[in-house]
Amino acid sequence: MELGSETELTQEITRLRAELARRERDAADNELQLERYAADLRETFKEERARSQQLARSYTATVRALSNAVEARDAYTSKHAERVAAYGFEIARALGIPRPQAPELEFGFLLHDIGKLAVPDAILYKPSELTREERAVMAKHPEFGYQILSEIEFLAEAALVVRHHHERWDGTGYPDGLAGEEIPVPARVFAVADVLDALTTDRPYRPASALSEAREMISAQAGAHFDPRVVDAFNSIDDDTIKRIGADIR
| pLDDT tens for the 250 residues of the chain, in order | 444 577 777 887 788 788 788 888 877 777 777 777 667 667 766 666 666 666 667 777 777 777 777 776 665 566 888 899 999 999 999 998 876 556 667 888 999 999 988 899 899 888 888 999 999 999 999 999 999 888 888 888 899 999 999 999 999 999 999 999 999 999 999 999 999 999 999 877 788 999 999 999 999 999 999 999 999 999 999 999 999 999 998 8
- Active-site residue, selected from the candidate residues 116, 126, 140, 243: 116
Distance of CA 162 to the CA centre of its chain: 12
> Which residues are within 8 A (CB) of 203 and not within 5 positions of it... i.e. 6 or more apart?
76
Rounded to whole angstroms, the Cα distance separating 101 from 55 reads 17
Q: Supply the pLDDT for residue 77.
A: 60
- Any catalytic annotation for residue 116? yes
172 sits in the region (left: phi over 0; alpha: psi -120 to 50; else beta) called: alpha
pTM (two decimals):
0.74
What pLDDT was estimated at residue 178? 98
- Alpha carbon of residue 153 to chain centroid: 13
Q: What tens digit of pLDDT does each residue of 107-135 get?
A: 889 999 999 888 998 998 888 889 999 99
Q: What's the maximum distance between 2 C-alpha atoms anywhere in the chain?
A: 116
Is the distance from CB of 134 to CB of 123 less than 8 angstroms? yes
Question: What is the sign, positive or negative, of the torsion defined by CA atoms of 115, 121, 125, 128?
Answer: negative
Round to whole Å and give the CA distance between 2 and 120: 100
> What is the spatial distance between Cα 112 and Cα 164, in angstroms, rounded to a whole number?
9
Question: Long-range contacts of range 214-218, CB-CB < 8 Å, 24 or more positions apart?
Answer: 218/192
